[in-house]
Amino acid sequence: QMMAENQRTLGMILGFAAFFAFAVLAIQFESFRLPIIIFLSLPVCLAGMVYGLMAGGQAIGATVAIGVFIVIAATVSDGVLLLAFAEELRETKALRAFDAVLSAAKIRLRPRVMTTVGAIAGFIPLALNLGEGGDLLQPMAVGAIGGLLLEIGAALFLMPALYLLFARDRTTKTVAPDAQPEVGEKGATVP
């Protein structure tokens, strides 16, 4: 019964955390569109945790919740950086959504991979149960490794795809056909 109460409490904490994270992102981006994109990629990352736990033969325990927070934090952080940079490119350089998100993903590739590889390397000793208390932290580490591996793909492929799906390209003013300048010989414009 105490375990069920702890699970309910953890569920409430996760719910409140998700709500407040969404609210902060919506305020930061001044839009609901970009936080929705970030939150739509979370299930993929959390599925990576489940796959990691299954592959490692680990049961879901209390410490896995810490791994969930780690994966969610990494996903939200990457999403904010990627989408904010793409939005900045669209505003400052007047790029189309595709070009902006492609440039942002290219620029974020190296830092994302380096950060994730460093985090995974830090979790490997825990995942291999090499030290004291490893039995307790092993499920968290195995789950976090699985979640972080899928998080790279989500940040670099899924979020840009969702961004394009939800993107609203700023339309450029089109010139009416009768208002276009006349073209003289050899393509010279006639005033």
**Residue spans per domain, the chain:** 56-168
Residue 153 burial (10 A CB sphere; 0-12, 13-18, 19+): middle
At 57-104, the pLDDT tens digits run 888 877 888 888 889 889 888 899 999 999 999 989 988 999 999 999
Please give the pLDDT value at position 172.
47
Look at the domain 56-168 and name its fold. Answer: Multidrug efflux transporter AcrB transmembrane fold (1.20.1640)
C-alpha 105/C-alpha 116 separation (Å) is: 15
Q: Which of 50-54, 158-162, 173-177 comes out lowest in average pLDDT?
A: 173-177
C-alpha closest to that of 139 among 63, 190, 71: 63
Q: How far is CA 49 from CA 55, 124, 133, 141, 180, in A?
A: 10, 15, 21, 10, 57
Residue 167 has pLDDT above 60, yes or no: yes
pLDDT at 100: 92
CA 97 to chain centre: 17
pLDDT digits (tens, 9 = 90+) for 114-138: 999 999 999 999 899 887 777 888 8
